[in-house]
Structure 1
Amino acid sequence: MASLTTYTDEARIALDTLAGRATGLVSPSLRIGVTGLSRAGKTVFITAFVHNLLHGGRLPLFDAQSSGRISKAYLEHQPDDAVPRFQYEDHIAALVESRIWPESTRAISELRLTVEFESASAWNRLLSRGKLSFDIVDYPGEWLLDLPLLSKDYETFCHEALEMAALPARADLSAEWRALTHEVDPNEPADEMTARRLFEAFSSYLRACKADHRALSTLPPGRFLMPGDLEGSPALTFAPLGVEPGARGKPGSLHAMMERRYEAYKTHVVRPFFREHIARLDRQIVLIDAMQAMNAGAEAVTDLERALTEILSCFRQGRGNLLTGLFSHRIDRILVAATKADHIHHESHDRLQAIVRRLADRAIARAGFSGAAVDVLAMAAVRATREGTVRQGKETLPVIIGTPLEGETIAGETFDGETETAIFPGDLPEKPGLIFQQPGPDEENAGSAPENPLRFVRFRPPRLERTAEGLTLSLPHIRLDRALQFLVGDQLA
């Protein structure tokens, strides 16, 4: 991939990093990026991360916590005053008091959690101040998918967008936009209303791709789906045209106007996002909702693999040395986590983890070559179900028990959001590659691809348990402790 930055960007990054390192001598910090595509559970992960450290949660595999070496954890003012604060208090109230999932990430936000601890090493206790701040940066994965645009000109963007829109999983959704594109002459005089019609048709196609029944993931430009404070600006009012790579727009033409706005989008939206946020990260977790993709079918799974590869290729991965570390950050640990592991029985967790590794194989190989440590995990930052068994004839089936969200349906039954029920979620395939195959009667797929699509329902957050003394316990989870150990455990050793 071509460079995502200019010499000017690199100079700014170096100055920002040097200033940050100087501050870190007095107040050491670790900057953790949390991203994922919509509904992957970014907000829930951060809320559970913070809640379990603030309240001494049950984290047996998080060594600093389980060994009692964390003496105190508390929230502090974040270092970046221009970035919105992650509203932890609102999100934890939604989970615990209202038992509703907090609103999804719509823009970038940040939270500082400071931990006071005792190192496990006598040598480290002499050198370390025993205090470390985690600056948690929450941002939409859709925005990250824009970073590859920095290495593409407008004509290449157009060619790739039209090519992807014609794929079988997208052709019907993109038909209106593609028809409008074919009607328009790129060399006609620039016209604001034509640009707006093209933009609206293109945006509608992207939003349709994102809907649950398709669950497609590779949908740049990301701000078309989550515009934030840029909604309605000229930098967002563009769309691909039917132009070939290498073609150039005539001055004053629709082509020239669209190209100018595309370049403005890269310059004023994408490049600052990379420079000010992504290039400053030390650790990264990428959350994916593999369940939703599997519900939608093989095309959605393949598209998720494409998106995940593009996302992981955008990070500055690897280990820096003492000198280079003064001027630039490198992400030396990346965790790829499939969320909502509580939607299946624990007997299938290893299979879900294998599916995640299969999805991330190419990206993991690339990261490994650059020196970054990568792990994959099946987890639930907040566990909404518990496990049980039911008898069906002579067979005993493993089930999960919880309260499905209102409107969720399975086997013809629609749930009311109040009734707890036991559900047999089915089994994930033993071979991860099978989820990429379409079921069908043809000889090649017969007997290999699943006969029926997998179907998972979404559940309400759980009621928190109380001790005999009436104390409310922390949010239950699946492998949140293992995630924290990988992401930050070495910094608290």
Structure 2
Amino acid sequence: MAALKKPHWITDWKQHAPALGNARLRVGVTGLSRAGKTTFITSLINQLENHQRGLLARRPPFDRLEAVRWQRDGVEQAFAYLDALHALSDNPARWPSSTTDLSRVVIDLRFRQTGLLRRVQPSRSLRIEILDYPGEWLLDLPLLELDYGQWCEQMRDWLELEPRRGLAGPLRDRLLAIDPQAPLDASLLQQLRRDWTDFLQRSRSEAGLSRNQPGRFLLPGSGIAAEMLLFVPLLAGNRHTATGAGSWWAECEARFRYYRDFVVKGFYDEHFSRLDRQILLVDMLSPMDAGQAALSDLKGALEAVLQSFRYGRNSLWRRFWQPRISRLAVCATKVDQVSAEQQRAVQQCLEDLLTDSLSDVRHGGVEVRGFPLAAVRATRQEGDALVAGLQGQTGWVRYQPGSIPTHLPLDLQVDGPELLELRPPPGLHRNEPFPHYRMDELLGWMLEGAAL
């Protein structure tokens, strides 16, 4: 007699069962490149490790927090917390290296129970799981909604506009000149792929643009073979183009599909499909400083990203099978670069940029809250001026920060705040809470309602 096959719903139940209890909270820390994810996660662990010394000690539920353990043994691709601490506590202090690959954070918290529950169970544990990954990968999520022809059309439209048109230069003309039905020239494809990668790098570094696809052309990460990244947009084609085997179109389309269906979708399914809560980190000040084109590109990027996640409360039955994000924290980062009175304005400008997207998220029953944030405060305020150290220099500078509008203009025309390249403050140590803005508020809100 053939062995009975276990019904698939039993397997699904076992996979999702831990999420039904309160012992685990999956928090997605999401942000584009330069948003400060590595510094944020380092500060988050530091604040929890020093919960009795910092602002967390006076904020529920951390006033009942008894013990914290950052897990580094047995965690696959563990977050390099000690390396980040070394950078921040070095002399001179420096910011941790940007994320170049996927890493994981696991933190175990033990809380003291109160009331009648204390007799039955003196303490209760919560495991927080966080995923860290390059912001460039995040920008690939919109590809899940596109076929290759649609992506080529989108790239053609983007390259029509400045500053991308100028940055692409002759590369745009070469991509337009390729006949999609012509036989593939493998050596030319290799060169075009390198040129497209260089174009993406300059779009990010010179123009401050956010939507740079495919993201793994910039940071492939481990386990990605070069053959997976061997395609370019053929600007003369569109969603109706169909050609035979061995053509430019057939080869690039097949590789795009593999990239979308196995690299991007696999990453999404494995890491994002079961998030409970999400923190969205955005460097709003740099695009404001770069100008209208950078702000417009940031808006498009964030709107596409927000549409890619599973938001909303559902019935208990539906959540049992398909968990959804119930809380979204939207955080304008590095707000210590402006005066304390202007920090809320930075946050308001970010929320103005995302008005429609955040309305859609709230309509799905998700709690959304904004936090103007500085994970590690690099400045101190003296009167109307800020005092800070500059990267690569010793000593201190005293300066007047640029002004921020109360609301972001609809045309996205803003006079930039003229940012300085600041270094971390001196004297940071693992056993003391880092100076910050609102990390305690954010952590308290994200854990609120976790039945602790």
Calculate percent identity across the aligned residue pairs: 32
Aligned amino acid, residue 155 of structure 1:
G
How many aligned residue pairs are there?
Answer: 443
Q: Who is 1:433 aligned against?
A: 409
Partner of 1:462: 425
> Which ranges in structure 1 are unaligned for 5 or more consecutive residues?
1-10, 390-397, 407-416, 438-448
TM superposition shift of 1:97? 3.1
The Cα offsets for residues 369-398 of structure 1, whole Å up to 9 and x where unpaired, read as: 211111122110110111012xxxxxxxx1
| 1:19 matches 2:19 | no
Contact 1:62 1:482 in 2 (8 A): no
**How far apart are 1:455 and its partner, in Å?**
0.5
Deviation at 1:319, TM superposition (A): 1.6
Moved over 4 A (4+): 14-17, 23-27, 119-129
Q: How does 1:74-93 map to 2 (within 5 A)?
A: 74-76=69-71, 83-93=76-86
Distance in 2 (alpha carbons) for counterparts of 1:257 and 1:425? 52
Q: Take 2:360 and 2:164, find their aligned partners in 1: how far apart are those partners?
A: 29
2:33 to 31, 38, 44: 38
Matched, 1:64 2:57: no
Seen in structure 2, the aligned counterparts of structure 1 residues 62 and 195 have a Cα distance that, compared at 3 Å, is: farther
Distance in 2 of aligned mates of 1:71 and 1:145: 39
Contact 2:380/2:386, CA 8 A, preserved across alignment: yes
Quote how far apart the aligned CAs of 1:338 are.
Answer: 0.8
**How far apart are residue 324 of structure 1 and its match?**
2.4
In the alignment, the residues of structure 2 paired with residue 183 and residue 72 of structure 1 have an alpha-carbon distance, to the nearest angstrom, of 63
Deviation of the 1:288 alpha carbon: 0.8
Q: 1:122 to 1:161 in 2, by over 3 A?
A: farther
Shift of 1:16: 7.3
Q: Please state if 1:405 is matched with 2:383.
A: no
> Distance between the aligned counterparts of 2:45 and 2:305, measured in 1?
25
Q: 2:316 aligns with which of 318, 322, 328?
A: 322
What corresponds to 2:132 in structure 1? 138
Larger displacement relative to structure 2 (419-428 or 174-183): 174-183
1:171 matches 2:181: no
**Structure 2: runs of 5+ lacking an equivalent:** 1-6
Paired residues for 1:409-420 under 5 Å: 417-420=393-396
Q: Is the 8 A contact 1:42 1:287 kept in 2?
A: yes
Matches within 5 A, 1:8-407: 18-23=13-18, 28-56=23-51, 57-60=53-56, 63-64=59-60, 68-76=63-71, 83-98=76-91, 99-119=93-113, 122=116, 130-211=124-205, 213-229=206-222, 233-241=226-234, 242-389=236-383, 398-406=384-392
| Counterpart residue identity of residue 337, structure 2 | H
Distance 1:168 1:152 in 2: 23
Determine if contact 1:118/1:125 at 8 Å carries over to the other structure.
no
1:120: how far off?
5.7
Contact 1:337 1:377 in 2 (8 A): yes
**Cα distance between partner residues in 1 of 2:316 and 2:67:** 30
**Shift in CA distance, 421/332, structure 1 to aligned 2, threshold 3 Å:** same
CA-based RMSD of the aligned residues comes to 2.5
Question: What is the CA-CA distance between 1:94 and the residue it aligns to?
Answer: 1.2
Q: Is the 8 A contact 1:78 1:111 kept in 2?
A: no
Give, in whole Å, the separation in 2 of the partners of 1:161 and 1:231: 23
**What TM-score, normalized to structure 1?**
0.84
Partner of 2:444: 485
Check whether the contact 1:78–1:135 (CA below 8 A) recurs between aligned residues.
Answer: no
CA contact (8 A) 2:108 2:125 kept: yes
- Deviation, structure 1 residue 180: 1.2
CA distance in 1: counterparts of 2:11 and 2:160, whole angstroms = 43
Alignment check: 8 A CA contact 1:17 1:327 kept: yes
Q: Secondary structure at the match of 1:111?
A: strand
Instruction: Give CA-to-partner distance per residue, 1:384-439, whole Å, 9 cap, x none.
Output: 111012xxxxxxxx111110112xxxxxxxxxx212111111211123216812xx
Look up the equivalent residue of 2:397 and give its one-letter code. T
Q: Give me the whole-angstrom Cα distance separating, in 2, the residues matched to 1:418 and 1:344.
A: 21
Q: Residues 323, 299 of structure 1: CA spacing in aligned structure 2 closer, same or farther, 3 A cutoff?
A: same
Amino acid at match of 2:37: K
- In 1, Cα distance between equivalents of 2:67 and 2:39: 22
Write the distance in 1 (CA, Å) between the matches of 2:46 and 2:411: 35
Taking a change above 3 Å as real, the CA distance of residues 128 and 320 of structure 1, as seen in their structure-2 partners, is farther
Q: Are the counterparts in 1 of residues 313 and 324 from structure 2 also a CA contact under 8 Å?
A: yes
Residue deviations 1:90-144 (CA, integer Å, cap 9, x gap): 1112112341111111122111101111246656985795110101111223212
CA, structure 1 residues 366+296, in 2 after alignment: closer, same or farther (shift >3 Å)? Answer: same
**Separation (CA, whole Å) in 1 of partners of 2:118 and 2:239:** 56
